[in-house]
A and B are shown apart, each in its own frame.
Chain A
C-alpha cells in the first residue's frame, strides 16, 4: 500500500511541477540581460536576408546592449499559422511581419506595441513623410500598431520570349496601342498556351486556394469580396459574377490559365505571364528569359491597381519590446527605407519617385517603376482584409471549390459563397 501511495505522490508532484512550469511559459517575460531580438519574416530569399542582416549589424554597432538580431524566415504558405503557433507556445518573436489579411486581427487584438511615439521621436525619422493612406490598415483608435513595411503593387511579369515564340504581341506593344485589357491579355495567354504547351497566365499564390489573390483580377470589373465596412458580402454582385464568368471561361475554355491541380512557375520559365508583386522581382535570374513588368490590364471598368501590404510590428509581450521598437525605427528610417526599397516599396512619399527607386532597383526601368509601383501605390486598392479573416477565408475557399470545374454554374456557386460568409461578416 505504501508503495502505491508513494507512487501517487511522486506522480502528482511531477505533474504539478510540470503544469506550473508550462503555465509560466505563457506569461509575460521579464527583461533580463542583453537583448537578443528575433524577427519573423516570410522571405527566405538570400538577397532580402543579406540586406536585413547588414542593417541589423549596423544597428548593433551603435547599440552594444543588443546581443543579436535574427531574421527568422517562416514559410509563406502558412506564415500566419506558424506565427500564432509560436505565440501560443510562449515562443513569440520580438518583431513580426504581418500580412494585410491578418492585419485587422493583429491590430485590434492588443498583441502589438503602439509605435507612434517611438517612431516620431527617433532622430531624423521624418514620420510625416509616410503616406497616410498606407497607414490606415495598421491603425486602431488613432494609434499605429505596425509600420507599413512593404506596400507592394501587383503587376504582370511577362516572359517576352515565350510570347514572341507564340507569335503574340507583347504587353508593351499592346500598351502602346492602348489595347492592354484583360480580354487581350487572356487571348494572348490562351494562344501562347496552345502554341507552346507552357502555361499562359498564372495568378501567383492563387493555386485555387489563395482566392484573395483573385482581387487582382476582379477589381477590374469593379467587384469586391465585401463592402467597405466589411458587413456585406460582394461575391454575389453582378460585377463579381461577370468577372468570375470571364475567369472560368479563361481557365476551362480557352485554357489561358492553368487548371486546378496544375503547377506552373513563371520564374522557372513555365508560363508566359504572371500576376504578382514587385517584391518577387528578386526571383528573376540574370541569365534567364527576356522579361518585362507591366501594370495590370484594364478591366471593363478601366485601368486599376491592387496593392498587397505587409507591416512589421513589435510584440507587446516581448521582454525587449522597447529595444525592438527602437530597432524598428532604425530599420525603417529614411536611409534604410531607401535601401529596402529595391525589394519592398516604401510608404515614404519622398522616396516614391522613379529616380529614387531606380537607384536601388537595377532590374526595373524608371518607366516600369513609375507605371507599376508609384502609380500603383497611389491609386491601388488593398487586397481584401477583414477581422477573423482566416475563418472567412476558409469558408470562401470551400465555397469557391465547386467553381473550379468545367460545368460549374458560376452564379449559383457565388450565391453559395455569400450564403456561407454573410452571417460571419454581419457579426
Chain B
C-alpha cells in the first residue's frame, strides 16, 4: 500500500454511496432457478437429439471413409446418389409395407383386446397382464426366441404339424418373411396400445351407453357412434406412436431376416445401417437418415393436420 493509494481510495469510493443494483436480482435468481430445473432435459436434448441431428446433416454433405480416416466435402453428391440408387425403390416399398401392416394389425388388435378386456368379467386382470408383459421384455431376447419358433423345424411349424398343416419356412419365404416380422413386432407392442385404449375406454361416461340403449342402439352402433369418437384422441396418439415406431424398426430385421430373403425385408433403417456400418458409406448412410427424418416428420405433420377431421375433441 502506498500513500497515493490511500489518498485515492475515498475518491473512488464515492460512487458507492449511490446503492449499486446487485447482480443477483430476484428476477435473475428466478431465471437461474428455471434454467437449472430444465438443465437436465436441455442438456440431454442437446447431446442426444439436437447435436446428432446437426452432425447427421453435416455428415450427409461429406464422403467419410472410416478406414482411411478421410472426410471430404462432397456437397449434395450424396443426395444426387439417392436418385440413382437401384435399391431405394424396393427399400421404400418394404418400409411402407411394414408400416402399413404394423399400424393396421397393431391398432386393430389393440382396440379389440381393449374392448374385450374392458368388460367386467373374471380374469380380465390376468389377461391384461399377459398381453402387456411382452412390452417389458427385452426386444432382442423376444426377437431371438421368435427366431427359433419361426424356423423351418421350429415351434410354430411343430404346432401346425400337430393339426396336419405343413407350415411354410416363415423367415425364408418372400411373403411370409415380412408377415413374420410384422406379427412378431405386433405381439411385442400391442400391449402398450391396449393399455392406452383401456384408459381411454374407462374415460367414456357410462350414461352415454345407457341413453343409447334406451334409444335402442345396437352394441355395434354404440361402438361406432360413442366409443370411437370419444377415444379418437387416443387413436390419434397411438397411431402417431405406432407409425413413427414402425419406421424405426431395426433389431427385428437384424435378428430375424437381415433384410432377406432377397431384399424383401430391407427397410429404410436397416438399409442405412448396411450402407453406413457394413459398406462404410457413412455419408450416404447419413443422407438416408435425413430421408427417414423427412418421412417421419411429414407423416406426423399430416396426422396432426388430419386430427381436426376425425378427432372428436378438436374444434
Pairwise interchain contact A84-B262, C-beta atoms closer than 8 A: no
Please report which residues of chain A, range 2-22, place their CB below 8 angstroms from some CB of chain B when the two chains form the complex.
3, 6-7, 10-11, 14-15, 18-19, 22
Contact with A along B36-57 (1 / 0, CB 8 A): 0000001100110011001100
If A15-B54, A260-B152 touch, does A111 touch B280 (CB 8 Å cutoff)? no
Question: Of all chain A residues, which has the CB nearest B273?
Answer: A81
If A260-B172, A261-B169 touch, does A84 touch B31 (CB 8 Å cutoff)? no
Pairwise interchain contact A394-B279, C-beta atoms closer than 8 A: yes
Contact with B along A204-230 (1 / 0, CB 8 A): 000011000000000000000000000
Q: Nearest Cβ in chain B — how far from A196, in angstroms? A: 15
Contact with B along A110-151 (1 / 0, CB 8 A): 110000000000000000000000000000000000000000
Pairwise interchain contact A398-B50, C-beta atoms closer than 8 A: no
B151 within 8 A of A: yes
If A15-B46, A18-B47, A209-B258 touch, does A260 touch B69 (CB 8 Å cutoff)? no
Pairwise interchain contact A106-B278, C-beta atoms closer than 8 A: no
Pairwise interchain contact B151-A261, C-beta atoms closer than 8 A: yes
Q: Nearest Cβ in chain B — how far from A177, in angstroms? A: 34
Contact of A261 among B43, B152, B258 (CB under 8 A): B152
B65 within 8 A of A: yes
Pairwise interchain contact B51-A388, C-beta atoms closer than 8 A: no
If A11-B46, A401-B260, A402-B261 touch, does A109 touch B68 (CB 8 Å cutoff)? yes
* Residues of A contacting B68 in the complex (Cβ-Cβ under 8 angstroms): 109-111
Q: How far is the CA of A105 from the CA of B66 in the complex (A)?
A: 11
B282 within 8 A of A: yes
Please report which residues of chain B, range 274-290, place their CB below 8 angstroms from some CB of chain A when the two chains form the complex.
274, 277-280, 282
Q: Nearest Cβ in chain A — how far from B55, in angstroms? A: 7
Q: How far is the CA of A10 from the CA of B31 in the complex (A)?
A: 13
Q: How far is the CA of A10 from the CA of B66 in the complex (A)?
A: 32
Q: How far is the CA of A259 from the CA of B173 in the complex (A)?
A: 13
Pairwise interchain contact B69-A388, C-beta atoms closer than 8 A: no
Q: Nearest Cβ in chain B — how far from A420, in angstroms? A: 9
Q: Nearest Cβ in chain B — how far from A345, in angstroms? A: 27
A59 within 8 A of B: no
If A110-B68, A398-B259 touch, does A14 touch B169 (CB 8 Å cutoff)? no
Question: Of all chain B residues, which has the CB nearest A111?
Answer: B67
Pairwise interchain contact B279-A208, C-beta atoms closer than 8 A: no
* Residues of A contacting B259 in the complex (Cβ-Cβ under 8 angstroms): 398
Q: How far is the CA of A342 from the CA of B172 in the complex (A)?
A: 39
Q: How far is the CA of A15 from the CA of B58 in the complex (A)?
A: 14
Interface size class of B (residues with CB under 8 A): 35 or more
If A84-B66, A261-B169, A388-B279 touch, does A14 touch B151 (CB 8 Å cutoff)? no
B171 within 8 A of A: yes
A317 within 8 A of B: yes
A85 within 8 A of B: yes
If A15-B50, A263-B151 touch, does A109 touch B263 (CB 8 Å cutoff)? no
If A22-B51, A109-B67 touch, does A84 touch B260 (CB 8 Å cutoff)? no
Question: Of all chain A residues, which has the CB nearest B148?
Answer: A263
Q: How far is the CA of A209 from the CA of B278 in the complex (A)?
A: 15
Q: How far is the CA of A104 from the CA of B35 in the complex (A)?
A: 53
Question: Of all chain A residues, which has the CB nearest B169?
Answer: A261
Q: How far is the CA of A49 from the CA of B94 in the complex (A)?
A: 43
Q: Nearest Cβ in chain B — how far from A43, in angstroms? A: 21
If A18-B51, A261-B151 touch, does A404 touch B172 (CB 8 Å cutoff)? yes
Contact of B277 among A81, A111, A317, A398 (CB under 8 A): A81
A390 within 8 A of B: yes
Pairwise interchain contact B67-A14, C-beta atoms closer than 8 A: no
Q: How far is the CA of A314 from the CA of B32 in the complex (A)?
A: 50
B76 within 8 A of A: no
* Residues of A contacting B171 in the complex (Cβ-Cβ under 8 angstroms): 261
Main SS class of interface, B? loop
B153 within 8 A of A: yes
Pairwise interchain contact B279-A391, C-beta atoms closer than 8 A: yes
Pairwise interchain contact A262-B151, C-beta atoms closer than 8 A: yes
* Residues of B contacting A67 in the complex (Cβ-Cβ under 8 angstroms): none
A397 within 8 A of B: yes
* Residues of B contacting A405 in the complex (Cβ-Cβ under 8 angstroms): 172
Q: How far is the CA of A259 from the CA of B151 in the complex (A)?
A: 10
Tell which of B43, B69, B154, B263 has the most Cβ of chain A within 10 Å.
B69
Contact of B278 among A263, A394, A404 (CB under 8 A): A394
Pairwise interchain contact A398-B66, C-beta atoms closer than 8 A: no
* Residues of A contacting B65 in the complex (Cβ-Cβ under 8 angstroms): 109
Q: How far is the CA of A372 from the CA of B134 in the complex (A)?
A: 49
Contact with B along A9-38 (1 / 0, CB 8 A): 011001100110010000000000000000
Q: Nearest Cβ in chain B — how far from A161, in angstroms? A: 22
If A390-B280, A391-B279 touch, does A87 touch B67 (CB 8 Å cutoff)? yes
* Residues of A contacting B67 in the complex (Cβ-Cβ under 8 angstroms): 84, 87, 105-106, 109-111
A44 within 8 A of B: no
Q: How far is the CA of A84 from the CA of B46 in the complex (A)?
A: 26
Q: Nearest Cβ in chain A — how far from B290, in angstroms? A: 18
Pairwise interchain contact B262-A317, C-beta atoms closer than 8 A: no
A51 within 8 A of B: no
Q: How far is the CA of A85 from the CA of B279 in the complex (A)?
A: 11
Contact with B along A82-109 (1 / 0, CB 8 A): 0011011000000000000000011001
Q: Nearest Cβ in chain B — how far from A82, in angstroms? A: 9
Contact with A along B68-101 (1 / 0, CB 8 A): 1100000000000000000000000000000000
Pairwise interchain contact B172-A208, C-beta atoms closer than 8 A: yes
* Residues of B contacting A261 in the complex (Cβ-Cβ under 8 angstroms): 150-154, 169-172
Q: How far is the CA of A11 from the CA of B45 in the complex (A)?
A: 10
If A15-B51, A261-B152, A261-B169 touch, does A87 touch B279 (CB 8 Å cutoff)? no
Contact with A along B149-164 (1 / 0, CB 8 A): 0111110000000000
Can you list 10 A-B pairs with a CB-CB distance of less than 8 A? A14-B43, A19-B55, A85-B277, A261-B153, A261-B170, A261-B172, A391-B278, A394-B274, A398-B260, A399-B262
Task: Contacts A7-B35, A22-B51, A398-B259 known; list 8 others, CB within 8 Å.
Answer: A11-B42, A15-B46, A81-B277, A88-B277, A110-B68, A259-B169, A261-B172, A397-B260
The 7 closest A-B pairs by CB, nearest first: A109-B67, A401-B261, A261-B152, A111-B67, A391-B279, A109-B68, A88-B66
Binding site for B on A (CB under 8 A): 3, 6-7, 10-11, 14-15, 18-19, 22, 81, 84-85, 87-88, 105-106, 109-111, 208-209, 259-263, 317, 388, 390-391, 394, 397-399, 401-402, 404-405
Binding site for A on B (CB under 8 A): 31, 35, 42-43, 46-47, 50-51, 54-55, 64-69, 150-154, 169-172, 258-263, 274, 277-280, 282
